[in-house]
């Protein structure tokens, strides 16, 4: 966390499947102090059709909300803002089109995060709502399109993201807002099936249960306000009483019960059915609710990044050990790539700070594919990075990192560019050159006279003393081959003797 004498302001914007939430806060004495909040019930997941395409209506609702959020974000430094997209943007086939429109409005990029990363951030937020201690907590967050279930103490240990949410289940099992005992039974059984592969891993591994989402907080408020629970906690009996109370009505829009807002009417049945299944299958006796959730977790995580506690670095270090990376070779490549970066950074499409991160991470992990096979190891490495659970990373960050690793050798994969970003082939060219010059894997230093310069966004020059080129004929041959290879990606490589 930042030191007490730095009054820095942070902002987290959660583009959830049911609602968009903005939190602006600062730290005082290591405690989170809320400055401003904004919430819009966007019903994003309700805009998905059978082909997982977001409707124009849903996109327009979202963009209208983001216009208001962007106004609230004025004055917050861009690097102190983190915007995350969750289940709906993970699922939507036209997510990239929406993101392009949204990022023209917003002061910072949208990061689509995996379900397990969402679970990690939720737990981080909730953990900071309780006194430190050794208690094992089960944390549940029922979102609009997914449900995150986490067990941990000081840190999360078991994390799962399940494909069920209050919006998706309400639409699927309570069509047209109709309420019936049969609908509840089908929804509850579907939730139990989704949960079944994880029951044994989770059951009995926690001391207290905490609910963190808007759905669970709403249920908690209803059972308290209506006397369904004898304590401040949600109990199994109180959930059954709430279900019975809802069944007194035929439709969601007719439900009139203390503690329920009109904006939650249509999604309460799906959320309640999921929570009923969780209580039954995990043997939960009671559940407290927390006002903290993913937004608070995002801000704690973001503050850590800016103050030398970056979870991504821990993830990289873990993978280095897991895949038995040759760290000496990785450090050689990294040192050379970062030495050259200042000479080309103004011509990159990538932000210079991000380029530095990517080069360090790619250097550390460009050979992880060797753990699978030597042949095509760059492809194996890219597959791992695209598909692994990498705490702290967004999907876009993983894709950019995987792209560097995929293209650090052999023929550039110009036809395999992810739709989520524009390729920065100049950065790829720089990384390839660092790998080429250390191909012999010797602990030799590359002379300072061997330099790299950019000549616009499509040309790069490697300048080296003629004597050095003559003494390293294999490297010179590799560079000549590289001129032909990198040209396939539209980059001209010039190899020029230094004066």
Specify the range with the lowest mean pLDDT, choosing from 3-7, 26-30, 165-169, 421-425. Answer: 3-7
> 411 and 378 in contact (C-beta within 8 Å)?
no
For the stretch 10-22, pLDDT in tens is 999 999 999 999 9
386-402 b/e with 16+ CB inside 10 Å = b?
beeebbbbbbbbbbbbb
State the Cα–Cα distance between residues 98 and 104, nearest whole angstrom.
10
Q: For residue 291, which phi and psi values (nearest 5 degrees)?
A: -80, -15
Mean pLDDT of 152-166: 93
- 25 SS3 class: strand
Closest C-alpha to 41, from 114, 144, 170, 165? 144
Mean pLDDT of 413-422: 83
Closest C-alpha to 353, from 285, 402, 361? 361
Mean pLDDT of 418-445: 91
What is the pLDDT, as a whole number, of residue 3? 46
Can you say how many angstroms the Cα of residue 13 is from the centroid of all Cα atoms in its chain?
A: 13
What is the pLDDT, as a whole number, of residue 133? 64
Q: What is the average pLDDT score of the chain?
A: 94
State the Cα–Cα distance between residues 263 and 253, nearest whole angstrom.
10
CB-count exposure of residue 38 (10 Å: 0-12, 13-18, 19+): middle
pLDDT above 60 (res 2): no
Mean pLDDT of 173-198: 97
State the Cα–Cα distance between residues 205 and 151, nearest whole angstrom.
7
State the Cα–Cα distance between residues 204 and 181, nearest whole angstrom.
30
Residue 482 half-sphere exposure toward CB, CA atoms < 13 A:
27
State the Cα–Cα distance between residues 227 and 250, nearest whole angstrom.
23
Structure tokens at 347: 């011509």
What is the pLDDT, as a whole number, of residue 132? 60
Residue 72 neighbours by CB under 8 Å, 6+ apart: 22, 24, 36, 38
For the stretch 206-232, pLDDT in tens is 999 999 999 999 999 999 999 999 888
What is the pLDDT, as a whole number, of residue 7? 62
For the stretch 34-50, pLDDT in tens is 999 999 999 999 999 99
Query: How do the residues of the chain divide into helix, strand and coil, expressed in percent and rounded to 5?
Result: 50, 15, 35
**Residue % of the chain over a pLDDT of 70:** 97
What is the pLDDT, as a whole number, of residue 396? 93
Local confidence band at 131 (pLDDT 50, 70, 90 cut-offs): low
Local confidence band at 4 (pLDDT 50, 70, 90 cut-offs): very low
pLDDT above 60 (res 94): yes
pLDDT above 50 (res 405): yes
Structure tokens at 408: 């650090």
Biggest CA–CA distance in the chain, Å, is 89
For the stretch 434-480, pLDDT in tens is 999 999 998 888 999 999 999 888 999 999 999 999 999 999 999 99
């Amino acid at each position: 966390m930042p030191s007490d004498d730095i009054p820095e302001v942070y902002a987290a914007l959660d583009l959830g499947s049911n609602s968009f939430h903005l939190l602006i806060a600062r730290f005082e004495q290591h405690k989170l102090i809320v400055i401003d909040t904004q919430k819009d019930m966007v019903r994003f997941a309700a805009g998905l059709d059978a082909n997982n395409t977001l409707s124009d209506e849903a996109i327009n609702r979202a963009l209208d909300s983001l216009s208001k959020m962007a106004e609230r974000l004025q004055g917050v430094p861009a690097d102190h803002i983190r915007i995350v997209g969750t289940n709906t943007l993970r699922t939507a086939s036209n997510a990239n089109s929406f993101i392009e429109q949204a990022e023209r409005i917003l002061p910072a990029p949208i990061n689509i995060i995996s379900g397990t990363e969402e679970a990690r951030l939720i737990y981080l937020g909730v953990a900071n709502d309780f006194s430190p201690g050794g208690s094992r907590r089960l944390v549940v967050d029922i979102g609009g399109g997914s449900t995150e279930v986490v067990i941990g103490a000081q840190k999360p240990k078991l994390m799962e993201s399940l494909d069920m949410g209050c919006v998706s289940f309400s639409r699927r099992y309570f069509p047209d807002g109709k309420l019936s005992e049969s609908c509840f039974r089908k929804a509850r059984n579907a939730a139990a099936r989704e949960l079944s592969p994880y029951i044994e891993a989770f059951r009995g591994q926690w001391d207290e249960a905490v609910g963190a989402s808007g759905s669970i907080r709403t249920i908690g408020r209803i059972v308290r306000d209506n006397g369904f629970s004898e304590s401040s906690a949600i109990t199994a009996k109180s959930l059954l009483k709430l279900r019975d109370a809802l069944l007194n009505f035929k439709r969601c829009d007719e439900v009139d019960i203390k503690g329920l807002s009109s904006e939650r009417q249509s999604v309460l049945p799906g959320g309640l059915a999921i929570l009923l299944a969780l209580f039954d299958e995990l043997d939960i006796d009671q559940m407290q609710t927390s006002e903290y959730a993913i937004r608070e977790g995002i801000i704690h995580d973001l503050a850590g990044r800016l103050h030398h506690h970056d979870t991504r670095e821990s993830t990289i270090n873990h993978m280095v050990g897991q895949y038995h990376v040759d760290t000496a070779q990785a450090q050689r490549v990294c040192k050379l790539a970062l030495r050259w970066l200042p000479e080309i950074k103004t011509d990159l499409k990538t932000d210079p700070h991000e380029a530095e991160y990517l080069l360090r991470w790619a250097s550390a992990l460009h050979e992880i594919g060797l753990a699978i096979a030597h042949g095509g190891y760059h492809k194996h490495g890219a597959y791992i990075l695209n598909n692994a659970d990498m705490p702290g990373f967004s999907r876009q960050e993983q894709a950019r990192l995987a792209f560097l690793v995929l293209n650090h050798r052999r023929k550039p994969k110009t036809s395999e560019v992810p739709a989520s970003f524009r390729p920065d082939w100049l950065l790829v060219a720089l990384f390839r050159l660092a790998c080429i010059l250390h191909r012999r894997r010797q602990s030799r230093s590359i002379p300072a006279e061997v330099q790299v310069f950019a000549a616009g966004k499509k040309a790069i020059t490697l300048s080296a003393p003629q004597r050095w080129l003559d003494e390293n004929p294999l490297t010179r041959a590799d560079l000549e081959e590289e001129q032909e290879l990198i040209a396939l990606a539209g980059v001209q490589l010039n190899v020029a003797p230094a004066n």
